[in-house]
Structure 1
Amino acid sequence: MDNDEIKLLLVKYITREANEQETDQVREWVKAHPENEQYFAQLYEAWQNMMYLKPEIIDEEKAYQKFLSTIPQETKYRQLYRWSKVAAVVALFSVLSVFLIRHYSQNVKSIRIVSVNKGGIKKIVLTDGTLVWLNAGSKLNYNTDFGKKNRTVYLEGEAFFEIAPGKKTIPFIVNTKNYTIRDIGTKFNLKSYPNDSFFETTVVKGEVSVEGNIDNNNREMSRIYVKPRQVLRIYRQQQKEKYTYKPDDQTTKELNEIQVLQIDSANTDKYDGWKEDLLVFDGNTLDEISKVLERRYNVKIIMNDARLQNIRYSGSFKKIATIDKVLSLIKGNTDIDYTINGNTVTIIKRTN
């Protein structure tokens, strides 16, 4: 890909206009070199800052309507939709580029990346005194000047934050792929793995605000507050829609299902117990459990029957070193069997 192509793909990815193939291309490009990852983080920070300060600048629909207003009435057909989207994306990149030019050249080498391999947990202390626990398969990025002019971090995966007191004039912000979380309290857990179908935050103490495209059916709902002992979970679902003027043409629309749960202070282990090497499942499906176990024990889990994914299980595991022990306990209460070959686990339906 040439430079212009990757720029267009990056902006389409950040604005969630990229299709599956384009998304894969961006992820491969970001992984290819540390400088690519740093550039992406800078671009994403610019996008988030502009969303917060001047959302009208990046309102894609407004850009589209403005584009249409410059076209003679007789040419305003729906087939221009796609091209106008591209124009809006290109215009957006131009705006972002102006914003970045003052920052990127100075900060391209100023990003710290803390990552945790599958099977591990890491605890770090940020320069402002904030404690962060990173779960397996997670990554945290932040600038080396963190705590001076900003307290912004970028999370992919799961982390528990215990925000340091003070620095109230500089808000603590966590950016994830789809949402921005602003701390108004002290202790909260965030879960935003790219291969999970949901985003989740659990507030143990204090309060946070979650900002972004929360409700697709209500554009006014761009922020929701999560209070102590509340869990906010946003499921991402995709629905294909056909254009009425051309039935064979389809577009994918993302629909969000929002859940807010009140939990007892004694039951927060289900959401943050992982930092103490505790796994708690409360009626979770085997599909959900397998994702957790894959990250915790650095394995690949295969199920030969799709119906197995919907089996539900409740149980807790404290400091269990091997996945074999976990699965043997699950097997004792469900109709499953399993085999382990190296790092590959195959779960099958029990036949007897």
Structure 2
Amino acid sequence: MRSIIQKYMEGRANEKEQKELLVWLRKKDSRVDFDSQKLDWERNLNSQYFPKGGEKVWHEIQDHMLNVSFEGWQHSKKMSWMLKIAAVFLLLIGLSTSTWFLLRGHDGGTMYTSIMADKGQVSKAVLPDGSIIWLNSGSEIKYNNRFGEGNRLVELQGEAYFKVTKNADLPFSVNNSELTVRVFGTAFNVKAFDSDDEIDIVLEEGSVGLIPLGAKKAVYNMVPGQHANFNKLNKKLLVRHVNTTRFTSWKEGIVNIFDQPLFLVVERLENRYNQHFELEEEVKDIHFTFTIKNESLSDIIKLMEKIAPVKAEQKENTIVFRLDKTQKLKLP
């Protein structure tokens, strides 16, 4: 088991090895051995991974660091079932971000795991079946203790990118209040904030089926390169071909704003920088196109003021966008 733990710590364990480790970890005594080997692995990081002490090397090792949460597990038999999904195979990947794991009960004794990304953060985690997810700022996924065995069902609030491990016998599903995205193994992005009137799905690899609330089968099967927009109010579905990078680059820390009105732009900025904005009515529909990489919020605001007739003013904890009438007079 030592070799499997070593491979798991380094992110090299295959699906069979992960399942073997999972069964072993259900035993209480195994946790002691696991923690001991994990501690030894961490102690050896300096000599094994930092020969030059470079920051780049440090971040590479951060990609393999394990973040587990087992508080109170020994006091509940139910929690032993939870281990297989709640903590064992959730890897916190170093993206200069934070992920929080919240364990809680639900009706009928079913246990759930929630993974959340704080405002202004992007988080990455590995699910028990080996699937990888990226969570955008202010987003959350939730799944129950049968995940990976009886189901592969994830509930999403917010935006997430999924790279799903193939399993023809157990399809992977992403649910929200109005739409289910069902896949067998693929790479795709779903944006489904509760506060939004629309759900957006972008498919990069494989195929997915879209199942509206109450439907028994997919009303549309997407192919790579497509963007599907589902309106929660009128239940209409619109599909078009797009450059998928514009919708998925956020997981690499890049935000693409393409011909979007200011009221949508500030939503992206609020998620990116955890900053509250207000808009005067005159500027809400002014459109912007630009890309955010590593720029500060102040740099982005200066850019916006240069390319459009807007002026940003700080009022306590809020930034207010107003119409810059002086600049407007200079426009052709």
Query: Is 1:223–2:219 an aligned residue pair?
Result: yes
CA distance in 2, matches of 1:275, 1:269: 10
RMSD over aligned CA atoms reads 2.0
* Selected match of 2:265 from 282, 289, 304: 289
CA distance in 1, matches of 2:283, 2:217: 36
CA distance in 1, matches of 2:217, 2:183: 19
- Structure 1 residue aligned with 2:274: 298
Query: Is 1:325–2:299 an aligned residue pair?
Result: yes
Residue 148 of structure 1 aligns to a residue whose secondary structure is coil
- Equivalences for 1:112-127 in 2 at 5 Å? 112-127=113-128
Residue 266 of structure 2 aligns to a residue whose secondary structure is helix
Q: Which runs of 5+ in 1 are unaligned?
A: 1-102, 237-253
- Structure 1 residue aligned with 2:131: 130
Query: Is 1:147–2:140 an aligned residue pair?
Result: no
What is the TM-score with the length of structure 2 in the denominator? 0.63
CA contact (8 A) 2:260 2:289 kept: yes
- Structure 2 residue aligned with 1:106: 109
- Structure 2 residue aligned with 1:308: 283
**Post-superposition offset of 1:138:** 0.4
Please give the per-residue CA displacement for 1:192-233, whole angstroms capped at 9, x wherever unaligned: 01222211000000111111159xxxx999621111110001
Between 121-130 and 288-297, report the one with greater CA deviation: 288-297
- Equivalences for 1:53-64 in 2 at 5 Å? none
Q: Which runs of 5+ in 2 are unaligned?
A: 1-105, 327-332
**Post-superposition offset of 1:343:** 3.6
- Structure 1 residue aligned with 2:194: 194
CA distance in 2, matches of 1:350, 1:190: 36
CA distance in 2, matches of 1:348, 1:221: 47
Distance change (3 Å), C-alpha of 1:220 and 1:169: closer
CA contact (8 A) 2:170 2:184 kept: no
Instruction: Give runs of ≥4 in structure 1 deviating > 4 Å.
Output: 219-222
Please give the per-residue CA displacement for 1:42-78, whole angstroms capped at 9, x wherever unaligned: xxxxxxxxxxxxxxxxxxxxxxxxxxxxxxxxxxxxx
**Post-superposition offset of 1:132:** 0.2
**Post-superposition offset of 1:329:** 1.0
CA distance in 1, matches of 2:158, 2:279: 23
Please give the per-residue CA displacement for 1:147-199, whole angstroms capped at 9, x wherever unaligned: 0111101000000000013x220110111121111014410000001222211
CA distance in 2, matches of 1:122, 1:221: 32
CA contact (8 A) 1:208 1:225 kept: yes
CA contact (8 A) 1:269 1:278 kept: no
CA distance in 1, matches of 2:117, 2:160: 11
CA contact (8 A) 2:165 2:185 kept: no
- Structure 1 residue aligned with 2:234: 255
CA distance in 1, matches of 2:154, 2:210: 14
CA distance in 2, matches of 1:207, 1:172: 12
- Structure 2 residue aligned with 1:204: 204
* Selected match of 1:274 from 244, 250, 275: 250
Residue 332 of structure 1 aligns to a residue whose secondary structure is helix
- Structure 1 residue aligned with 2:68: none
- Tell me which amino acid in the other structure corresponds to 2:305: K
Residue 255 of structure 1 aligns to a residue whose secondary structure is coil
**Post-superposition offset of 1:111:** 0.2
CA distance in 1, matches of 2:169, 2:317: 48
What is the TM-score with the length of structure 1 in the denominator? 0.59
- Equivalences for 1:2-41 in 2 at 5 Å? none
Query: Is 1:235–2:231 an aligned residue pair?
Result: yes
